[in-house]
Structure 1
Amino acid sequence: MLTVSDGGRANFTCISAQQPGLKDEDDTPRNNLKKALDSAPPSRDFRGVLKEIMKENNSIFSLKKALDNAPPSRDFRGALKVSYIRTGSPGLIAEVKKASPSRGVLREDFHAVEIAKAYESGGAACLSVLTDEEYFQGSFENLEDIRNSGVKEPLTLVKMQCPLLCKDFIVDVVQLYYARIKGADAVLLIAAILPDIDIKRMLKICKKIGLAALVEVHDENEMDRMLGIDGIELLGINNRDLETFEVDISITKKLLEGERGEKIQQKGIISIVKPKDPIQGIRKLFGKDISA
């Protein structure tokens, strides 16, 4: 499978967070919000992110209740497999992204819905929508608009069919609920910023509320950690170093060869690789029209 992305990421410390004022022993990871705030870059305010979410939902109960009105969950993993069967090529996850920390603004005339529709028409199996505002100029509004978008026909409204992945720095379970409420079918969990205990807990919650979880790794240590966790069905390999932003395509080879590659196959995990150059990556991989 191929993810269309330059892999740009902000530098984050490997910690986790719990939402302030929300207590739900079954759904909440360890209370490390203060550590997250203290360890994150000065400009990154997790408290502000969570506060925005909680404007609409003042308790974990109200978040769960709001799930009743969430759009139906679509099969993210299944869409990748169906695309492979249909085209004979890896399923394409196309990314709706205005900016990145490494390259700045990618497109001034950014219209999320138009871009999403173009990707879907071009044969994308799934879409990855940036919701992080600070580093990627994304938003949950973009995610919701794409989910609700459609082409009006005489008697029907044909909505987007591609399953949507909410791409953000997930550090708290409230983000999982909020992503689902806003129309996400999957979320990104980054091994570099989440300890194993939180990933395990979040995987359980994702399964409970109908979200697929794409777990991203960058090095051997992260891969080994994730292969030791049950329940992971999608692994993303980021060739870009989170510290330096440098790209090393040999990382994929290192992580997929030998015993690690065998374990991935044995567990039935789908591995997703991020190329350095999205356009070249697509052309080299497909070499043909996959929109049919």
Structure 2
Amino acid sequence: MLEKFRAAQATAIKRLKDLEAAQRLPAPYDGKRPPFSDALLAAGPVAVIAEYKRASPSAGDINLGLAPGEVAAMYAASGAAAISVLTEETYFKGSVDYLEPISAAGLPMLRKDFLLHPLQVVETAATKASALLLIVRMLTDAELAEMLRLTYDAGLEAVVEVFDEADLARAESAGAHIIQVNSRDLNTLTTDLAVARRMAALKRPGRIWIAASGIASRADVLAMAAIGYNAVLVGTSIMSEPDPGQALARLTGKAD
């Protein structure tokens, strides 16, 4: 699947290269961005990052009738510490344009996509997003280091996604501070929280760790907190419900 996601980025990267050649790249956003990592730590013992997700290869279409701003308001009212915004167009029916209406909720935003090229960092820096996602397995060591440097230089934070111990070693060597452990096998699309439990033993002091995929209940959230995760990221389990805000409230404890 990662190779399919890589191939799907070609159109987006070409568009950015064309804009660069025409000297029409968007200017960096010069407003104040809500700090992403601070929001996660302030929401302890465990923060919930709620995702605006319209589709996925495993779930198909998800609640396409819900507008991004509408969902963001639900999330803010239901205890989300931050909002993850899927911007990948081909497989997830996302768009960078969704970041603007979602920003009205006032929460830090994570741009979640399969980012491969430095110009995609420039593109993200032109939005109100506070952070972006980098996936270790989609980048060489040199590419990961460069993407991190550009991200930090732009005043953004980077969530670096890993799937196993080898990914983690590469992420930390490149200078990652926020680690996201994905418990979904992207080849089989199956999820096993045993991955998050195994990896938790490797967390270093001073790092922020996020558990992604497979979080479906308040018990799952608390279990991840108990083994050292600072946050969990939830998408399909709440977006597939008729009322994503209510589903999120059950995870954050707001519904108790």
Q: Which residue of 2 aligns with 1:27?
A: none
Q: Which residue of 2 aligns with 1:5?
A: none
Match 2:27 to one of 55, 58, 66: 66
Pairing 1:274–2:238 present: no
- SS of 2:40 mapped into structure 1: helix
Residues 183 and 195 of structure 2 are in contact (CA less than 8 Å); yes or no, is this contact kept in structure 1? yes
Q: Which residue of 2 aligns with 1:218?
A: 163
Change in 2 beyond 3 A, CA 1:181/1:101: same
Measured in 2, the distance between the counterparts of 1:226 and 1:245 equals 22
Q: Which residue of 2 aligns with 1:119?
A: 75
Match 2:9 to one of 43, 46, 64: 46
Q: TM-score, normalising length from structure 1?
A: 0.71
Q: Which residue of 2 aligns with 1:12?
A: 2
Residues 134 and 159 of structure 2 are in contact (CA less than 8 Å); yes or no, is this contact kept in structure 1? yes
Deviations 1:230-261 (A, max 9, x none): 3x11000000011111112111122122xx23
Measured in 1, the distance between the counterparts of 2:216 and 2:122 equals 30
Seq. identity, %: 29
Structure 2: any 5+ residue segments left out of the alignment?
A: 225-249
Change in 2 beyond 3 A, CA 1:53/1:70: farther
Query: Per-residue deviation at 1:80?
Result: 0.6
Pairing 1:131–2:62 present: no
**Runs of at least 4 residues off by over 6 Å:** 283-288
Q: Which residue of 2 aligns with 1:145?
A: 101
Q: Figure out how many residues of one structure are paired with residues of the other and give that number.
A: 230
Pairing 1:203–2:148 present: yes
Deviations 1:35-71 (A, max 9, x none): xxxxx47x9443311233356x3349754x711x443
Change in 2 beyond 3 A, CA 1:224/1:78: same
Deviations 1:68-93 (A, max 9, x none): x4432221001111112xxxx30111
- SS of 1:228 mapped into structure 2: helix
Larger Rg: 1
Query: Per-residue deviation at 1:224?
Result: 2.0
Residues 71 and 181 of structure 1 are in contact (CA less than 8 Å); yes or no, is this contact kept in structure 2? no
Match 1:192 to one of 122, 137, 147: 137
Measured in 1, the distance between the counterparts of 2:119 and 2:110 equals 16
Measured in 1, the distance between the counterparts of 2:208 and 2:66 equals 31
Paired amino acid for 1:289: G
What's the RMSD between the two structures over aligned residues? Answer: 2.6
Change in 2 beyond 3 A, CA 1:103/1:287: closer
Match 1:289 to one of 237, 253, 256: 253
Residues 60 and 174 of structure 1 are in contact (CA less than 8 Å); yes or no, is this contact kept in structure 2? no
- SS of 2:84 mapped into structure 1: strand
Query: Per-residue deviation at 1:169?
Result: 0.4
Residues 98 and 138 of structure 1 are in contact (CA less than 8 Å); yes or no, is this contact kept in structure 2? yes
Deviations 1:164-220 (A, max 9, x none): 010000001111111121221100000111111111111111111111000000112
Measured in 2, the distance between the counterparts of 1:136 and 1:220 equals 27
Q: Which residue of 2 aligns with 1:157?
A: none
Q: TM-score, normalising length from structure 2?
A: 0.81
Q: Which residue of 2 aligns with 1:240?
A: 184
Measured in 1, the distance between the counterparts of 2:134 and 2:21 equals 23
